[in-house]
Amino acid sequence: MDEFIDNILQAKGFMAALQVAKLNTQGELYLTGEIVVQSLARALYDQPMSISTRYHFITAAITEKGNLPCDWRYDNCDRSIAIHSNTRLPPDYFKDVMTSRYCVNDSSGIHVTLTELCAVHPINAGGLEPKIANYLQTAALNIDALVLDVQNEKLWGEPGKAALLDKRVEVNNLSHLIYKAFLARIEPRKYIEAHAMILGFNHSPVI
């Protein structure tokens, strides 16, 4: 699987997003989310797929004072949407949001989200050690349990690798899946189905 890492590194805007991430973080740095899974799926199966320009980095620490290239800006749109949503959000949701940093490049449409490991919901809510192993173990779906260690250019997450090879989306952590589906305002089964459909994968039986 590691032989396909170049497909992530060559994704649109990756180097610019990585520069922003490095300017605003300290310590371990991992790329996660749609960009990782979609890039690898397209490389493995040579299937046409729109690749996201939203980069989500998990880090040991966000710097107290951020720094951005001149064509970037900080953005709180995610927090504004959450605040004005009619959905009743869990009490600790705003703590998660407040310990993230959002960066946008309007001309290229690239978005970067930075989140500290200690603020990831299941780690924070469960009082777990802020380690990447706990992030992978508590990821909602098996395809979410996959990250790129950008410092060492290495993929971590056996559930995510297996999901790609088996072309199957399954529950990895039920409680986190329910939480994510709640935030998305859809049923857990629809959350699974939607992610499987984007990739053209099968999915686990409806829960």
From residue 103, alpha-carbon distances to 72, 74, 178 in Å are: 7, 5, 28
How many angstroms separate the CA atoms of 76 and 186, rounded?
Answer: 24
Q: How many helices (H) and strands (E) does the chain have?
A: 10, 9
Q: Looking at the domain that runs over 2-167, which CATH code has it been given? A: 3.30.460.10
The full set of domain ranges for the chain reads 2-167
Asked if 79 and 39 count as a contact pair (C-beta separation under 8 A), the reply is: no
From residue 95, alpha-carbon distances to 62, 104, 111, 121, 205 in Å are: 14, 21, 21, 9, 33
pLDDT tens-digit readout, 38-79: 999 989 998 777 778 889 999 999 887 778 888 888 876 443
Q: Which stretches does DSSP call E strand in 19-166?
A: 25-32, 54-62, 73-74, 100-105, 110-116, 147-149, 154-156
pTM: 0.85
pLDDT tens-digit readout, 89-148: 344 433 444 457 788 888 888 889 999 999 899 998 999 999 999 999 999 999 999 999
- Strand 202-203 relative to strand 73-74, pairing: unpaired
